[in-house]
Amino acid sequence: MTERGADLLALGCDALEYADEPALCDLLEYADPDLVYVLWEGADVRVASRIRRAFDGPVIAPGGSATCRTETVAGNSVVFADSIELLENRASADVPPDADYVVCEDLAPTTDRVALEVELEGLGTIADYQRESATETVFCTGSFPASYDHVWGRELEEGSVRLPLRGLGPIRRSGAAELARLRLGADGSVTVSSVPADRFGLGALSGVGPTTAERLRNRGYDSRRAVADASVADLRSIRGIGESTASAIQRSARALEQSRVVRRTDDPVSPVGCDPLFVDVETDGLHPTVIPLIGVFDPNRRKYVDFVDSDPSRTDPGTATRAFVDWLAATYDEPVLAAWNGYEFDFLHLERFVARYAPEYREYWTEHVSTVDPYDWAIRRDNAVLPGRTNRLEDVARALGCERAADAEAVDGRTFATRVRRLLEAPDADDPCRSAGKSNRSADEPSRCADETRLECEPRIDWERARRYCEADVRELAAVYDALAEADPPADSDSRSAAGGAGESEDERTDATTQTGLTDFDS
């Protein structure tokens, strides 16, 4: 059984500058970290002090003279080095030689404008550290966003060394920056989840930005529970909040505080009227060139099956798709498939891959297979309010009480997609400096380029973990679907049309709607 590892919450002070104490406490309770790391960029001693007061655990923040600090959590040793010089002078700086993880902000990208290549400042230093380490250390830096996952390398006299590097910085998307929570596994695996920095305290409520939050507090509504217990009329009496916004704020508060789906309609989730099969598709990015993994859960048979192409290539990217649709046609005459955000991703690309790589099943797919998208039903068609801080599947499932097993948490969709893409681009044995998608080398043998001072090593994909991750996704989807279908109907199913639109909150914003694993694959 995989150990859960150490949870590290990486915080940027600029993202928390306006967070009040309840919002900060809410963030720490939600993330439940073992360690809190304050990023150097934009560091503010005032914010760092507030974090220390709110968190009963190790807080690593810049300040004072350069130091090296080691924390051991769940058997993992994590070294925080304030400067690269401390790693260069390990003996005098008391840096342990075999750390599982090393965090250093000096590991930063530099660009050779002549060669048009990106180099890594501090590469030689961490290569020397890795050479002397008895275990493979994972290096982390806030100089890259938390979506960054790359294996650098260096050729030394003793041989080549792999240098896994992960980012800790906020993930920049539209709206607020997303703060990263990283699970540092005992085996060197790192998984990332993130949440917008403004989704805590009253800011977690739909339609509530800084201005409306302040007005709510001034009227005595200083917690989400207080807002959930308030009447729509009371909320509407606050300046800047119209009736429809007051209803949206109240529903959002009740969904979050009661960890339940709040329905806005009596319409069924599935108009087809029969139980669906739950499907998840894992790819190499937002615009897939290959589908290497498809998972399916049939709740009636209590059976999970998956279709895996563990040696994916761009010359034959439809292997898993063909196996899936062949099994589907042999097992179900008129299946109904459900996928989270399926109309924008899973079904869209499955249809494309079936048409191109399994054309004999195209008529079956178009004439006999029906599809349901619970995300589309709840969010795009505004039929329900979900209890997650975002509308991502994992976030909603977690809010409903679905906890993933540790082995399923050891993978995240973004990292998996990045590694598949790099596996497709791995150099081959004949021309090691060209991308070919296949390699005759072993998984432990790095590729060598003309410049022997740098290596770009192949990614390693643990397919068994990827399968468990995919299975967790479809089982969580089934649980969320059931919660949507079984939620109490609204007291007034016509409340949406009756609410009107006048007097909307001046800082009303929409919820984040991106599915975990389908966002920001670029590292």
> What confidence tens digit (pLDDT) does each residue in 312-341 have?
999 999 999 999 999 999 999 999 999 999
Of residues 28 and 110, the one with the higher pLDDT is 28
Q: Residue written as tokens 């961490």?
A: 126
Average pLDDT over residues 379-398: 94
Is 513's pLDDT higher than 80?
no
Is 152's pLDDT higher than 60?
yes
pLDDT of res. 444: 36
- Give the model confidence (pLDDT) of 62-73 as tens digits: 876 678 899 999
Is 514's pLDDT higher than 60?
no
Average pLDDT over residues 147-152: 91
- The answer to whether residues 181 and 194 touch, using CB atoms and an 8 Å cutoff, is yes
Q: Cα 413–417–423 angle (5° rounding)?
A: 145
Strand segments, DSSP code E, in 157-189 are: 159-169, 178-184
Of residues 516 and 39, the one with the higher pLDDT is 39
Question: What percentage of the chain carries pLDDT values higher than 90?
Answer: 61
Which of the four pLDDT bands, split at 50, 70 and 90, describes residue 159?
A: confident
- The answer to whether residues 508 and 133 touch, using CB atoms and an 8 Å cutoff, is no
Alpha-carbon 327 to chain mean position: 30
Instruction: Tell which residue, 291, 361, 355, has the closest CA to residue 328.
Output: 361
The encoded tokens of residue 274 equal 């029969």
Averaged confidence pLDDT in the chain: 85
Separation between Cα atoms, residue 31 and residue 55, nearest integer Å: 11
Is 20's pLDDT higher than 50?
yes
- The answer to whether residues 316 and 324 touch, using CB atoms and an 8 Å cutoff, is no
Those residues whose C-beta lies under 8 Å from the C-beta of residue 312, and which sit 6 or more positions away, are 284, 290, 292, 319, 420, 423, 424
What is the distance between the terminal CA atoms of the chain, rounded to a whole angstrom? 30
Which of the four pLDDT bands, split at 50, 70 and 90, describes residue 135?
A: confident
pLDDT of res. 381: 95
Is 278's pLDDT higher than 90?
yes
DSSP track, 123-162:
HHHHHHHHHH-SS-PEEEEEEEETT-EEEEEEEETTEEEE
Q: Cα 442–447–453 angle (5° rounding)?
A: 140
pLDDT of res. 489: 87
Q: Residue written as tokens 């909150």?
A: 505
What residues are paired with 162 via a beta bridge?
153
pLDDT of res. 110: 85
pLDDT of res. 114: 66
pLDDT of res. 341: 97
Residue 433's identity, in one-letter code, is C
Full set of structural domains in the chain with CATH? 6-196 (3.60.21), 277-378+464-475 (3.30.420.10)
- The answer to whether residues 470 and 280 touch, using CB atoms and an 8 Å cutoff, is yes
pLDDT of res. 457: 58
What separation in angstroms does the CA of 238 have from each of 67, 200, 208, 221, 241? 50, 21, 12, 11, 6
The encoded tokens of residue 28 equal 């720490």
Of residues 267 and 405, the one with the higher pLDDT is 267
Size (the chain), residues: 523
Question: Considering all CA atoms of the chain, what is the largest pairwise distance in Å, rounded to the nearest integer?
Answer: 75
- The answer to whether residues 355 and 362 touch, using CB atoms and an 8 Å cutoff, is yes
The encoded tokens of residue 170 equal 């906020």
Separation between Cα atoms, residue 414 and residue 516, nearest integer Å: 8
Separation between Cα atoms, residue 194 and residue 396, nearest integer Å: 13
pLDDT of res. 320: 98
Residue 302's identity, in one-letter code, is R
pLDDT of res. 259: 95
Question: What's the pTM value of the predicted model, to 2 decimals?
Answer: 0.84
- Give the model confidence (pLDDT) of 25-53 as tens digits: 999 999 999 999 999 988 889 889 999 99
The encoded tokens of residue 231 equal 């009447």
Q: Residue written as tokens 């909320």?
A: 235
- When mean pLDDT is compared across 141-145, 213-217, 425-429, 468-472, the lowest value belongs to 425-429
pLDDT of res. 137: 94
The encoded tokens of residue 21 equal 């104490």
Separation between Cα atoms, residue 202 and residue 217, nearest integer Å: 9
Q: 285: exposed, middle or buried (C-beta count within 10 Å: 0-12, 13-18, 19+)?
A: middle
Average pLDDT over residues 185-202: 89
The encoded tokens of residue 76 equal 């993992």
Of residues 409 and 102, the one with the higher pLDDT is 102
